[in-house]
Structure 1
């Protein structure tokens, strides 16, 4: 039988937060079998029925009131999509955790895109391609309407090149700083000229009259590139796989250490890289070193305490207070990591949120009335153990729901 602590560590990292029963089952299944099971692509789930984009029907003669109403309805659709996604996360599974990783990696915000339909379309790209070879993923993302709008790709024409998309694709999404030159940025921008977004259709198309199809010298090769050949040049570049391995390691293993060089040998397949990360001897030593992002913290608590789906809507303000709302990353660089989430203000917010969550899961509190309350709390929250300081503080809390809230606000729960 596999060591329970090791399996708990695996499940905490690959999912949004395992239940005690899931850890029990994984312990019986075994580490390698559970790892393979977790990394299987998820079964497709029907997307939410958002309806058409309210702004797609606005014409040049639309009034100020009509535009304001369209913006209001767009905001409602984004909120609906966010709630749907959080409910999917709470259903469990590593596939949605990987979708969330890619969302933070190709960070795109609804604040500028202003379309729930396009943001959902980007999510579906991550679900379809995110578990496999990055070649198809990068090809799809270079055509993604949400990303094009987010990084001003629709303003990039042969007469007025815009370098935003070309630069960020190389710096933040595929290669990293130092793997390309300013001349590469200019050449890539020319390759990406002419793409226009059709909001009503939810697609992007190449407008030949706005596209610069002249040969360029890009990443060491001279010739005529299109979107696909540019994507292929990116994923075949020697910097791509090590860059991707570092990003996955930082989110799934440790933001303080670098992955072993051998992990990159798994290639550019995301599932193969995650498998190599979780099998690397250094992975076990990262237990208790990674700070949970607010989404991970909240969704894990919802799962472990069994908060009913109908009650989860009441927690939507928690993520705003903690500074991480899905579909709204603060910049193209995504959300911060590590100690940035461990502020005094965030600790107080987690405590208040923990009290609210405990109130929405009354049956969970009933399990904390015996003599082994701290052990029961650790089991419920899948925490390996309490420090002496935390245990001493928890013993002073007599009310079961307050004890549960204190456990959710503890350092042992915030860092996994």
Structure 2
């Protein structure tokens, strides 16, 4: 009875000046972006709807956008050579961890501002799957290039992406393959290639790991000096190798061809197809991947020679995806980025440590995570449970309130004025709540949201809000944060 009374008492009123996408379209755009904004919704409509927008976005870098280059220039160390970065680190000019903090900030800036939202989303997915953390020593000198390599292949073929990443100096350094020799093959990369990057745990033997490690010997990085990558035939372990169904005589001291064939085999293996399909479903559909959908996506992946775009098209067209609206929780970084986008905060080139483009990293850390700060090679969790703790929710509520008031960070950031959130003076509170719901949550208001806003502001639904009302002058942060604290905002 109480719930029914509340629903009647707090019946929302519509103020439809902000157009929202139909629910199914909003679900697709929200799942493959860092937050649907009125501007993004307008872009979707201009493209003829979410399905056509998604197909257009799958063109990746062909989608016009200057954010990538413009924001990279904000942090000069991101363009320095590996040798220069290491020398500056050793000389105490600027530590590797500081450079990596800049890389993390650049990643956040791109997610916030880029028009290539699907490309950034999939870059995050693959940079998490083929994981090299930003917290570490030697590999920081090549970590920016590693992220750029993944972004280049993020919507191409997994076979090409796998070869480019496994032989990249950042990966070679991180998993100890850069100095792996014929006499002493290091098994770290050979094992993680199988367990994490391709076929998955339990799908290989220890003998497979040993052959995998031998195949990858020869890929070298000149550590402590130039940091240049090269191939060293004198370090390659020759002789017959066998991993699962792959076998090769491996007679040549130049093992680059056997590496190519081996990675091609792994990329096209049915176990790899299922593993990638499972992770895609977990990230974009739900935490309990349905076998039928996994099987379907794996078949599409293999049929299209590991091309990623057809798999994504099949995923978003599936009935399981369409039924999964509101079932994925934003991780802390996604929450921070979505908050900036929802509140329309504009960020300029940083000039000090307190500038918003720099401080946003500490915001993300305060909520619970930083880009690629996960310490293990298995990558940042993509399930709901990992990001649904009480402490995480409380941290998000605090961040939402600070951002709603424009209190921090405010240096080199432009926040909307309280008055700008009220489209006309003298509108009813229930109309204003609907307007904010459409602007921030990209959906009409509900009885639950209206009731929460009334309780948070101690106002009645019918109260008229003028531009000189106390709510606008002093209480708008309380109203905005109530909308941001909605369960609908916590979910993608």
2:270–2:298 contact (8 Å) kept in structure 1:
no
Q: Any residues of structure 2 matched to 1:316-327 within 5 Å, and which?
A: 316-327=361-372
Q: How far apart, in 1, do the equivalents of 2:20 and 2:364 lie?
A: 35
- Which of these residues, 346, 359, 368, is aligned with residue 405 of structure 2? 359
SS at match of 1:15: coil
Q: Any residues of structure 2 matched to 1:312-351 within 5 Å, and which?
A: 312-336=357-381, 337-351=383-397
Q: How far apart, in 1, do the equivalents of 2:417 and 2:27 lie?
A: 26
Q: Any residues of structure 2 matched to 1:163-312 within 5 Å, and which?
A: 163-198=187-222, 203-225=228-250, 226-258=258-290, 259-267=293-301, 268-310=306-348, 311-312=356-357
Q: How far apart, in 1, do the equivalents of 2:85 and 2:20 lie?
A: 54
Q: Could you say if the C-alpha distance between residues 162 and 365 of structure 1 is closer, same or farther in structure 2, counting changes exceeding 3 Å?
A: farther
Q: How far apart, in 1, do the equivalents of 2:484 and 2:174 lie?
A: 35
- Which of these residues, 92, 96, 104, is aligned with residue 69 of structure 1? 92
Q: Could you say if the C-alpha distance between residues 241 and 113 of structure 1 is closer, same or farther in structure 2, counting changes exceeding 3 Å?
A: farther
Q: How far apart, in 2, do the equivalents of 1:254 and 1:376 lie?
A: 30
Q: Could you say if the C-alpha distance between residues 234 and 260 of structure 1 is closer, same or farther in structure 2, counting changes exceeding 3 Å?
A: closer
Q: How far apart, in 1, do the equivalents of 2:112 and 2:228 lie?
A: 30
2:216–2:259 contact (8 Å) kept in structure 1:
yes
Q: How far apart, in 1, do the equivalents of 2:151 and 2:403 lie?
A: 29
Which is further off, 350-359 or 378-387? 378-387
Q: How far apart, in 2, do the equivalents of 1:95 and 1:264 lie?
A: 21
Q: How far apart, in 2, do the equivalents of 1:197 and 1:385 lie?
A: 55
Which is further off, 90-99 or 115-124? 115-124
2:97–2:135 contact (8 Å) kept in structure 1:
no
Q: How far apart, in 2, do the equivalents of 1:364 and 1:213 lie?
A: 69
Aligned residues: 408
- Which of these residues, 56, 62, 68, is aligned with residue 86 of structure 2? 56
Residues 1:7 and 2:53 aligned together: no
Match for residue 62 of structure 1? Answer: none
What is the deviation of 1:265?
2.5
Unaligned stretches of 5+ residues in structure 2: 1-18, 251-257, 349-355, 407-414, 458-474
Q: Could you say if the C-alpha distance between residues 41 and 177 of structure 1 is closer, same or farther in structure 2, counting changes exceeding 3 Å?
A: same
What is the deviation of 1:233?
1.3
Q: How far apart, in 1, do the equivalents of 2:341 and 2:271 lie?
A: 38
1:4–1:27 contact (8 Å) kept in structure 2:
no
SS at match of 2:163: helix
Q: How far apart, in 2, do the equivalents of 1:25 and 1:349 lie?
A: 32
Match for residue 127 of structure 1? Answer: 151
SS at match of 1:110: coil
Q: How far apart, in 1, do the equivalents of 2:370 and 2:45 lie?
A: 33
Match for residue 145 of structure 1? Answer: 169
2:219–2:229 contact (8 Å) kept in structure 1:
yes
SS at match of 2:86: coil
SS at match of 1:242: helix
What is the deviation of 1:2?
11
Q: Could you say if the C-alpha distance between residues 242 and 112 of structure 1 is closer, same or farther in structure 2, counting changes exceeding 3 Å?
A: same
Q: How far apart, in 2, do the equivalents of 1:363 and 1:2 lie?
A: 23
TM-score normalized with structure 2 length:
0.77
Q: How far apart, in 2, do the equivalents of 1:110 and 1:148 lie?
A: 14
Q: How far apart, in 2, do the equivalents of 1:41 and 1:204 lie?
A: 28
Q: Could you say if the C-alpha distance between residues 55 and 19 of structure 1 is closer, same or farther in structure 2, counting changes exceeding 3 Å?
A: closer
SS at match of 1:16: coil
What is the deviation of 1:292?
0.8
Residues 1:405 and 2:481 aligned together: yes
Name the Cα RMSD after superposition.
2.5
2:149–2:165 contact (8 Å) kept in structure 1:
yes
Q: How far apart, in 2, do the equivalents of 1:114 and 1:75 lie?
A: 11
1:132–1:269 contact (8 Å) kept in structure 2:
yes
Q: How far apart, in 2, do the equivalents of 1:180 and 1:113 lie?
A: 30
Q: How far apart, in 1, do the equivalents of 2:441 and 2:191 lie?
A: 42
Q: Could you say if the C-alpha distance between residues 368 and 329 of structure 1 is closer, same or farther in structure 2, counting changes exceeding 3 Å?
A: farther
Q: Could you say if the C-alpha distance between residues 275 and 2 of structure 1 is closer, same or farther in structure 2, counting changes exceeding 3 Å?
A: farther
Q: How far apart, in 1, do the equivalents of 2:265 and 2:59 lie?
A: 28
SS at match of 2:267: helix
What is the deviation of 1:140?
0.8
1:166–1:185 contact (8 Å) kept in structure 2:
yes
